[in-house]
Amino acid sequence: MPTKKTADFNSTLIGEIAQIMSDTGLTEVELTQGGSTLRLSKQTHVVAAAAPAMAQAAPASATAAAAPAAAAAPAPAAETAAEHPGTVSSPMVGTVYLSPSPGADHFVSAGDQVKEGDTLMIIEAMKVMNPIAAPRGGTVKAIIVSDAQPVEFGDPLIIIE
């Protein structure tokens, strides 16, 4: 897939740096290449809020008709979701898409089992579709964002336990 160049930095490089920042907990990186400088900064803030009760997932023996109801379960508030250890955060600014194309089934729903590397959603940034992969295996407890929602770097997207 071709990448757009921003000065001497391409969007793939920026996405990789953002992922490294997320993986390592770095909050700021500055790179100079040629005559261009790129500075990525992750804004962090702590918000104290009471955590709402998590909706109980449907039992494994539930029929497929119950799956949409589980997906529609209310997600925890963004402030508390950001503090959850299983939260997958946005590695970039863009627009979230929960399915590969309009009208298609979502990549994942609440209650689904995922493996490390499974595609959870797509974030469109600068006309480039960036798949967001599961950083670890587990059960999708909540999808915090909605389809076509704009997100900022570090916003909580999904919780995997």
pTM higher than 0.75? no
| pLDDT score for 12 | 79
pLDDT in tens, 82-119: 677 889 999 999 999 999 998 899 999 999 999 999 99
How far apart are the C-alpha atoms of 144 and 142, rounded to whole Å?
6
| pLDDT score for 66 | 42
| pLDDT score for 35 | 74
For the record, the structure tokens of 146 come out as: 């909605």
Average pLDDT, the chain: 75
The top-scoring range by mean pLDDT among 36-50, 64-78, 147-161 is 147-161
| pLDDT score for 88 | 92
| Per-position DSSP letters for 93-137, written without gaps between them | SEEEESSSSTTSPPS--TT-EE-TT-EEEEEEETTEEEEEE-SS-
| pLDDT score for 9 | 65
| pLDDT score for 43 | 58
How far apart are the C-alpha atoms of 57 and 69, rounded to whole Å?
10
3-state class (DSSP) for residue 146 = coil
**What is the bridge-based pairing of β-strands 119-125 and 94-97?**
antiparallel
3-state class (DSSP) for residue 21 = helix
Which carries the bigger pLDDT value, residue 53 or residue 30? 30
Mean predicted confidence (pLDDT) in 130-143: 94
Q: Give the count of beta carbons closer than 10 Å to the beta carbon of residue 76.
A: 22
Q: Domains in the chain, start-ordered, CATH in brackets?
A: 1-43 (no CATH), 64-161 (2.40.50.100)
The top-scoring range by mean pLDDT among 18-27, 45-54, 148-157 is 148-157
The top-scoring range by mean pLDDT among 32-46, 60-74, 124-138 is 124-138
